[in-house]
């Protein structure tokens, strides 16, 4: 009996202890953590907050920042969490010290732009504003007034794209905007859910071309919230219901081949003139500078732009939105004579010693074709014809060679096709005319007069400044094909650069030997370096420069005095340097500038001088 009594006492003791533990736990749950557990019991489904990924930087070849994303605070509402819209509006009005009408208008406007996902009510909040709003939020939590409701009202971080150099290279860098429905569908098809509801995409330029590299992957924070939209701190409740967050993956930085200092000098050298400049390395195709004047500041076009502002840009008399370096095409004028000279030698239509007499005009049929030098150059050989840019000599060559064969050599040197440096829609292919083209597009037969016009870069010939720079580069490097490109490195964390690789250069089969090539090469040096060369204003002390001037006629001499508006000739200059091993080739175009030697060559001189001093 004594054993049984002891057992009973032990069992009763254990039961009593258990009862005490349970009772204490119940008291703790009810009295101490009752409010917190009530929050759990009335909690909403897991709230997912999207965290925007910063876009990668765009750097020039020397590490200077051309574009970057800077963070700022925003206050937004999550429609799925809002219980009563009017209460939310009143709450936001109190937090921001706005009128309720202001909040309603912002809500409506943003909802039109983004019908799915968070609605941004206030953006670019500084730290003081955030602290003040947080203080008001804390006050609301202690108020008995149920007409205020913080559920769905959250802070977030967004990013502003900043372009430190303003309108310098604006066309090239491009800008960002929210995607339209078609663009969003295209993105979702190739990379589902990559774009957040407030995401912006590259519209043109580098921002568009390398969007997938620059764009990061948004992160997500998952949290349980109570009925008031406040996140539950689960550790305080002794529970573990946390969902794994998805970390943000920032966009990758890219390093371009551009030299922003060179671009700055090039832009300043235009001194308000309209035109474009393209410069690249003839050995590897790296683009060193690409300028279109006038330019715009990408920041002005990023984000929302009023209809009036957009109309003003579209109707700008100087066509500020056109990227003249790649999207505007012009007659190449006398810069095309490099191709005519090459074709004449390759086709066996002339020899370097042959002289052709220039009396200041060329008689073809019953018409006299004028040389730019009305007094005439007298008897000139190939070297002199290039140095003096004698039209009569090249009329004769064009007559001998024919337009179809001239077109063949023009295409060999890169004319008539897009370079592919940016999106295809942003670049023109130019035009290399021949008999098939004329038959198809103008329904006319090719005439001998077309041969003459083509030989001096007139007629239907059209090139972009970048194409003309590529032509000069591929001649200067001895006839090696190059692929013009802008991207030099992709930044891969941690601090690793991924250089781009290009296929080995391919020899252009242009049909001239080294001696014939040297004849033309030396003539191009004489254009700049001789006292009577047409391009002598491009000379740089300590640097031997080769080049070719061009004056592209916009309208015929007969019509020039009869029409209003811009009818002046376009000024061209193409060049390479240094002579012994070219490292830079460029093309300068000044719209309605007049003579290439007088207007375009001095711009090239400043850029070449700056390049030489940077070495």
CATH code assigned at 476 = 3.40.710.10
Q: Are residues 210 and 289 in the same domain?
A: no
Instruction: Give CA 118 to chain center in angstroms.
Output: 29
**Domain finish residue from 207, 228, 256:** 256
> Does residue 238 have a cis bond before it (omega within 30 degrees)?
no
Examine residue 2 and state whether it is found in any structural domain, yes or no.
no
- Are the beta carbons of 40 and 226 closer than 8 angstroms? yes
Torsion region of 472: left, alpha or beta (phi above 0 gives left; psi -120 to 50 gives alpha): alpha
| Per-residue pLDDT at 123 | 87
- Please state the rounded mean pLDDT for residues 453-481: 97
| Per-residue pLDDT at 368 | 94
| Per-residue pLDDT at 449 | 96
Q: Which domain holds residue 411?
A: 260-296+320-614
- As for how many domains the chain has, the answer is 2
- Please state the rounded mean pLDDT for residues 156-174: 93
Q: Are residues 230 and 266 in the same domain?
A: no
Q: Characterize the bridge pairing of strands 487-492 and 153-162.
A: unpaired
Q: Residues of the chain with pLDDT > 90: what percent?
A: 60
Which strand (E) or helix (H) includes residue 398? helix 391-401
Residue 241 has pLDDT above 70, yes or no: no
Q: Are residues 232 and 270 in the same domain?
A: no
Examine residue 26 and state whether it is found in any structural domain, yes or no.
no
pLDDT band at 583 (very low <50, low <70, confident <90, very high): very high
Q: Are residues 204 and 265 in the same domain?
A: no
| Per-residue pLDDT at 563 | 35
What lies within 8 Å, CB to CB, of 52 at 6+ separation is 156, 157, 158, 159, 196, 198, 199, 218, 248
- Are the beta carbons of 534 and 600 closer than 8 angstroms? no
- Please state the rounded mean pLDDT for residues 376-388: 97
Examine residue 371 and state whether it is found in any structural domain, yes or no.
yes
| Per-residue pLDDT at 2 | 52
Helices (H), 204-336: 205-209, 211-214, 234-237, 260-269, 298-301, 307-314
pLDDT band at 503 (very low <50, low <70, confident <90, very high): low
| Per-residue pLDDT at 501 | 60
Q: Are residues 122 and 211 in the same domain?
A: yes
Q: Among the listed ranges 95-104, 261-270, 277-286, 447-456, which one has the minimum average pLDDT value?
A: 95-104
| Per-residue pLDDT at 143 | 76
DSSP secondary structure, 141-158, as one string: HH---TT---TTEEEEEE
Residue 6 has pLDDT above 80, yes or no: no
| Per-residue pLDDT at 557 | 42
Q: Are residues 207 and 61 in the same domain?
A: yes
Q: Are residues 351 and 229 in the same domain?
A: no
Query: How many other CB atoms are there within 10 angstroms of residue 53's CB atom?
Result: 21
297 burial (CB, 10 Å; 0-12 / 13-18 / 19+) is middle
The CATH number for 154's domain is 3.90.1310.10
Q: Among the listed ranges 35-39, 293-297, 311-315, 398-402, which one has the minimum average pLDDT value?
A: 35-39
Q: Are residues 267 and 232 in the same domain?
A: no
Look-up of token digits 């990379």: 191
Examine residue 14 and state whether it is found in any structural domain, yes or no.
no
Which strand (E) or helix (H) includes residue 279? strand 275-280
- Please state the rounded mean pLDDT for residues 89-107: 88
Report d(CA 84, CA 75) in Å as an integer.
18
Examine residue 19 and state whether it is found in any structural domain, yes or no.
no
Examine residue 38 and state whether it is found in any structural domain, yes or no.
no
437 burial (CB, 10 Å; 0-12 / 13-18 / 19+) is middle
Sign of the CA dihedral 525, 528, 531, 533? positive
Q: Residues of the chain with pLDDT > 70: what percent?
A: 85
Q: Among the listed ranges 213-222, 224-233, 574-583, 591-600, which one has the minimum average pLDDT value?
A: 224-233
Q: Are residues 119 and 223 in the same domain?
A: yes
Q: Are residues 456 and 568 in the same domain?
A: yes
Distances in whole angstroms, Cα of residue 311 to Cα of each of 203, 303, 307, 308, 558: 18, 16, 6, 5, 36
- Are the beta carbons of 583 and 596 closer than 8 angstroms? no
Report d(CA 587, CA 469) in Å as an integer.
5
- The pair phi, psi for residue 584, each rounded to 5°, is -145, 135
Which of 35-39, 106-110, 436-440 is the most confident on average? Answer: 436-440
- Are the beta carbons of 267 and 275 closer than 8 angstroms? no
- Please state the rounded mean pLDDT for residues 89-101: 89
- Please state the rounded mean pLDDT for residues 339-364: 96
| Per-residue pLDDT at 559 | 43
Sheet containing strand 287-293, strands side by side: 287-293, 275-280, 584-590, 570-577, 546-552
- Are the beta carbons of 73 and 130 closer than 8 angstroms? yes
Q: Are residues 232 and 280 in the same domain?
A: no
∠ CA 137-222-252, rounded to 5°: 105
Hey, which residues does 357 pair with through a beta bridge?
Answer: 379
pLDDT band at 579 (very low <50, low <70, confident <90, very high): very high
- Are the beta carbons of 320 and 296 closer than 8 angstroms? yes
Residue 33 has pLDDT above 70, yes or no: no
Q: Among the listed ranges 146-155, 261-270, 346-355, which one has the minimum average pLDDT value?
A: 146-155
Examine residue 117 and state whether it is found in any structural domain, yes or no.
yes
pLDDT band at 152 (very low <50, low <70, confident <90, very high): confident
Q: 86-92 — which CB contacts under 8 Å span 24+ positions?
A: 87/147, 87/148, 87/149, 88/149, 88/151, 88/152, 88/153, 90/147, 90/148, 91/140, 91/148, 91/149, 91/150, 91/153, 92/121, 92/153
What lies within 8 Å, CB to CB, of 94 at 6+ separation is 136, 140, 148
Look-up of token digits 């960002």: 176
Q: On the CB side of 134, how many CA atoms lie within 13 Å of its CA?
A: 11
| Per-residue pLDDT at 344 | 98
Examine residue 567 and state whether it is found in any structural domain, yes or no.
yes
- Of residues 528 and 224, more confidence is placed in 528
- Are the beta carbons of 199 and 340 closer than 8 angstroms? no
DSSP class of residue 222 equals E
Residue 238 has pLDDT above 60, yes or no: no
Q: Are residues 191 and 280 in the same domain?
A: no
> Does residue 294 have a cis bond before it (omega within 30 degrees)?
yes
- The pair phi, psi for residue 89, each rounded to 5°, is -65, -45
Residue 23 has pLDDT above 80, yes or no: no
- Please state the rounded mean pLDDT for residues 126-154: 84
- The pair phi, psi for residue 541, each rounded to 5°, is -60, 130
Report d(CA 327, CA 117) in Å as an integer.
38
Report d(CA 345, CA 277) in Å as an integer.
30
| Per-residue pLDDT at 575 | 98
Query: How many other CB atoms are there within 10 angstroms of residue 84's CB atom?
Result: 13
pLDDT band at 355 (very low <50, low <70, confident <90, very high): very high
| Per-residue pLDDT at 558 | 43
């Amino acid at each position: 009996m004594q054993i049984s009594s002891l057992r009973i006492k032990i069992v009763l003791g254990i039961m009593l202890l258990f009862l005490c533990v349970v009772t204490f736990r119940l008291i703790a749950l009810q009295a101490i953590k009752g409010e917190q557990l009530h929050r759990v019991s009335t909690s909403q489904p897991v709230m997912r907050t999207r965290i925007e990924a910063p876009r990668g930087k765009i750097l020039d070849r020397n590490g200077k920042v051309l574009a970057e994303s800077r963070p700022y605070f925003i206050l937004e509402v999550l429609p799925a969490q809002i219980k009563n819209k009017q209460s939310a509006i009143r709450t936001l009005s109190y937090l921001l010290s706005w009128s309720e009408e202001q909040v309603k208008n912002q809500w409506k406007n943003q909802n039109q732009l983004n019908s799915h996902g968070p609605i941004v009510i206030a953006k670019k909040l500084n730290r003081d504003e955030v602290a003040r709003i947080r203080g008001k939020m804390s006050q609301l939590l202690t108020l008995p007034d149920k007409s205020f409701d913080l559920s769905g009202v959250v802070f977030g971080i967004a990013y502003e794209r900043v372009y430190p150099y303003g309108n310098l290279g604006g066309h090239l860098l491009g800008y960002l905007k929210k995607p339209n429905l078609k663009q969003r569908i295209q993105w979702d098809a190739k990379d589902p859910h990559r774009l957040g509801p407030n995401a912006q995409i590259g519209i043109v330029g580098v921002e568009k071309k390398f969007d997938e590299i620059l764009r990061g992957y948004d992160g997500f924070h998952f949290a349980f919230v109570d009925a008031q939209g406040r996140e539950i701190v689960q550790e305080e409740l002794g529970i573990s219901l946390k969902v794994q967050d998805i970390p943000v993956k920032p966009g990758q930085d890219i390093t371009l081949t551009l030299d922003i200092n060179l671009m700055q000098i090039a832009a300043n050298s235009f001194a308000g003139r309209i035109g474009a400049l393209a410069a690249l390395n003839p050995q590897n195709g790296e683009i060193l500078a690409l300028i279109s004047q006038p330019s715009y500041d990408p920041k002005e076009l990023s984000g929302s732009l009023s209809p009036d502002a957009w109309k003003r840009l579209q109707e700008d008399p100087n066509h500020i939105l056109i990227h003249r370096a790649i999207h505007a095409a012009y007659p190449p004028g006398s810069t095309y004579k490099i191709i005519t000279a090459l074709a004449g030698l390759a086709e066996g239509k002339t020899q370097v010693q042959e002289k052709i007499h220039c009396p200041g005009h060329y008689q073809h049929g019953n018409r006299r074709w004028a040389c730019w030098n009305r007094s005439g150059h007298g008897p000139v050989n190939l070297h002199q014809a290039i140095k003096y840019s004698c039209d009569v000599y090249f009329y004769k060559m064009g007559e001998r060679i024919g337009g179809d064969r001239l077109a063949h050599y023009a295409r060999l040197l890169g004319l008539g096709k897009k370079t592919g440096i940016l999106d295809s829609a942003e670049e023109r292919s130019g035009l290399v005319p021949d008999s098939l083209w004329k038959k198809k597009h103008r329904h006319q037969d090719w005439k001998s007069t077309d041969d003459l016009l083509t030989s001096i870069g007139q007629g239907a010939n059209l090139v972009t400044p970048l194409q003309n720079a590529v032509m000069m580069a591929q001649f200067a490097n001895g006839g090696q094909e190059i692929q013009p490109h802008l991207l030099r490195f992709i930044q891969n964390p941690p601090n690793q650069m991924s250089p781009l690789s290009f296929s080995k250069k391919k020899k252009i089969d242009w049909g001239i030997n080294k001696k014939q090539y040297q004849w033309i090469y030396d003539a191009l040096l004489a254009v700049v370096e001789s006292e009577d060369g047409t391009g002598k204003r491009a000379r740089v002390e300590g640097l031997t420069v080769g080049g070719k001037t061009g004056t592209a006629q916009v309208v015929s001499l007969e019509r020039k005095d009869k029409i209003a508006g811009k009818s002046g000739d376009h000024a061209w200059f193409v060049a390479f340097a240094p002579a012994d091993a070219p490292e830079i080739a460029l093309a300068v175009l000044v719209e309605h500038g007049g003579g290439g030697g007088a207007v375009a060559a001095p711009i090239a001189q400043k850029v070449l001088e700056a390049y030489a001093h940077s070495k």
